[in-house]
Amino acid sequence: MSLTATPRTPNPLRRVLRGAKGNWGGAIALTFIIVIIVFAIFGEALAPHDAHSQNLRERLLPTAWAEGGSMTHVLGTDSLGRDALSRIIVGTRVTLLIAVIAAGLEAGIGVPLGVIAGFKSGKVSSIIMRWVDIQMGFPAALLILFIILLTGGGTLIIPIALAVNGWMIFARVTRVSVSQLRATGFVEAAVASGISQTRIVVRHILPHISGTVLTIVLFEIPRIILAESTLSFIGLGVQPPAISWGLMIGGSRSLLQVAFHLSFFPGLFIMVTVLSMNMVSNWVEPILDPQRRGRL
């Protein structure tokens, strides 16, 4: 049995495209993100050199516009003669993949728990939310370091450690959204009609909170990029021979006096990527937020 009273969710893509008109900042940020995604998918093909190829005869070459530089290595080379631009392009995949996987795991943990806490009342909801409160009060850095040291770290462990530390925001926001929807007329009518709770959640709850969840994911990805870069910088994140922007900065921090560009450009990519993603998130948030759709 289905209810025709369930309000239809407007097409988010159509509203995003409509909101793009006149928003040059958001359009530029979105363009940069598309470029980053292309780098992540086709990095090896787009890189001008093999990112892992070493040539000690060309070690620590400056950028192309500096004295002694060459257009062969536009952003110079590192201490092992590897092309810096190629490593930035190839390193995009690991950096972005860790952020996307971690954000997906956060949503996969937090959303179901938030739905249960919001749809159920009493002891079940109380236990879940007390768990959320306890973990949010625990030092985030200490928890991540404990997981990494316990498991030995590695590229596969990083997104799991970051997700374990960040799922609580999904649980809290989802619980509030589901609690509000639980009190609406169309959900109460579905409950009174004898429809199973699982079907109510799938057909009438999840479609209405999907925009909110996606908005949180968009805000979490840049936060996770910064967290992964920090871990890789201090040597507890991505490990060689894998490449990430944070690892590139950490590996060249001892060369700041003689090869500043080796840290500057990966850091610039991190900064611009995080800024662009936050700009796009702020741009699409009112479009995806069901409480604000009617104003657009």
Mean pLDDT of 239-250: 92
Residue 15 has pLDDT above 70, yes or no: no
> Hey, which of 13-22, 68-77, 111-120, 264-273 has the most confident mean pLDDT?
264-273
pLDDT in tens, 201-233: 887 788 888 888 988 998 999 999 999 999 999
Domains of the chain: 12-295 (1.10.3720.10)
Band (141; pLDDT cuts 50, 70, 90): confident
- Lowest mean pLDDT: which of 60-69, 72-81, 116-125? 116-125
Q: Is the distance from CB of 8 to CB of 206 less than 8 angstroms?
A: no
* Residue 121, pLDDT above cutoff 80: no
Predicted structure pTM score? 0.85
58-76 per-position pLDDT tens digit: 999 999 998 888 899 999 9
CB 48 within 8 A of CB 85: yes
Count Cβ atoms below 10 Å from residue 195 Cβ, excluding itself: 17
Q: Do residues 275 and 29 lie in contact, with contact meaning Cβ atoms separated by under 8 Å?
A: yes
User: CB–CB of 85/77 below 8 Å?
Assistant: no
Rounded mean pLDDT, 10-30: 66
Q: What is the pLDDT of residues 131-140, one digit of tens each?
A: 999 998 888 8
Distance of CA 222 to the CA centre of its chain: 5
The pLDDT tens digits of the residues spanning 174-205 come to 998 888 887 777 777 776 777 777 787 887 78
Q: Over the range 160-183, which residues count as b (16 or more CB within 10 Å of their CB) and which as e?
A: bbbbbbbbbbbbbbbbebbeebbe
